[in-house]
Amino acid sequence: MVELDRSARVLVAGSGGLVGSAVVRALGAAGFSDVVGARSAQVDLRDADAAREFVTAARPDVVVDAAARVGGIAANNARPVEFLHDNLRIQANLLDAAHAAGTERLLFLGSSCIYPKFAEQPIREDSLLTGALEPTNDAYAIAKIAGIMGVQSYRREYDRRWISAMPTNLYGPGDNFDLESSHVLPALIRKFHEATVNGDATVTVWGTGSPRREFLHVDDLAAACVHLLEAYDDPAPINVGTGEDVTIAELASLVAQTVGFTGEIVYDTSRPDGTPRKVLDVSRIAGTGWKPRIGLAEGLASTYRWYLDNYVNEGAR
């Protein structure tokens, strides 16, 4: 465990997003006094020159890469070119810029979708590159795998103390609730809320409801990021999750209960299920002394309150 200087400059790429904004909050709570954000409105990290100019001017001691093009099954499946190329550019440009700025500590955030579709469950870190990917998000996954290799390459060639972490499915304040591009949990919150407001008798959920998924509150991930910057220094990626999963049907029922929907849940089996099961083996991060603190029911309730305050009530003003 090497405690970071709380006056060190920390650059959070993607600071306006779900993950980046949570990391900024966590760093502040941990006592870091010089946190610099990099939002897409400030700098287009897909532009190599813009990325290098921004990062070298900031001269960060630490970089957290939470910048990415992200989306749910529908968005990934419909726009693989953008998910591949944008993420490859963002990652390569940020790593190159951080190296040029002399950044010794960097945390790259990937995704659990890097693992094979039929990986042994729970998924260990050494499952990487042992099988075929889930076709609906393979372009995004390949980009994230390239990011891991980028970190490992800078460690090997330049002895940088850079690391990679692979979060499971995330949710929380700041999430995307657009039904065309969101992930399953925020999409369900919006669907059930609008059905309740409209008095609908049914809500349709994509797929069979049988796939199993693991969900981690974004504030737990952010706390893990701060922890890993001080407690982890290895070229291998490390999983971040709860180690527990639920079926989509169970999740839908919990969302309905949270929102107050009392109608029928209908499953559209013509829609893709995606990977049958995806739960991470979190024994390695547990061995470093970290564990999540926010349960799914508690996190779902607080996320729904955030949705009401920032989408529903804000839109009514």
Q: What is the DSSP string of 111-138?
A: -GGGS-TT--SSBPGGGTTSSPPPGGGH
What 8-state DSSP symbol labels residue 272?
Answer: -
**Is 22 contained in some domain?**
yes
183 in a labelled binding site:
yes
Q: Which amino acid is at 136?
A: T
**Is 83 contained in some domain?**
yes
Q: Which domain holds residue 42?
A: 9-171+215-243+279-294
CB atoms within 10 A of CB 170: 25
Closest-CA residue to 125 (of 1, 269, 237) = 237
pLDDT at residue 316, as a whole number: 45
Q: Is 239 helix (H, G, I), strand (E, B) or coil?
A: strand
Q: Is 94 helix (H, G, I), strand (E, B) or coil?
A: helix
What 8-state DSSP symbol labels residue 27?
Answer: H
Measured CA to CA, the distance from residue 60 to residue 62 in angstroms comes to 5
Q: Which residue has the tokens 């890097």?
A: 114
Estimate the crossing angle of helix 138-158 against helix 80-100, to 10 degrees. Answer: 20
pLDDT at residue 314, as a whole number: 66
Is 154 a catalytic site residue?
no
144 in a labelled binding site:
yes
**Is 13 contained in some domain?**
yes
pLDDT at residue 228, as a whole number: 98
Catalytic residue among 140, 154, 171, 307: 140
**Is 1 contained in some domain?**
no
CATH value at residue 87: 3.40.50.720
**Is 260 contained in some domain?**
no
Closest-CA residue to 114 (of 259, 293, 269, 237) = 237
pLDDT at residue 239, as a whole number: 98
168 in a labelled binding site:
yes
**Is 144 contained in some domain?**
yes
5 in a labelled binding site:
no
pLDDT at residue 317, as a whole number: 39
**Is 267 contained in some domain?**
no
Q: How many residues does the chain have?
A: 317
pLDDT at residue 85, as a whole number: 97
pLDDT along the chain (317 residues), means of 10: 94 96 98 95 95 98 96 81 97 98 97 94 98 93 98 98 97 91 90 97 96 97 98 98 98 98 97 87 98 98 97 65
Q: Which residue has the tokens 């024994």?
A: 283
| φ and ψ of 85, to 5 deg | -70, -45
| φ and ψ of 288, to 5 deg | -90, -5
pLDDT at residue 315, as a whole number: 56
Please count the CA atoms within 13 angstroms of the CA of 22 that sit on its side-chain side: 22
130 in a labelled binding site:
no
Q: What total of structural domains would you count in the chain? A: 1
The residues facing 213 across adjacent strands are 246, 278
CA torsion, points 300, 178, 244, 144, in degrees to nearest 10? -140
**Is 72 contained in some domain?**
yes
pLDDT at residue 106, as a whole number: 98
Q: Which amino acid is at 134?
A: E
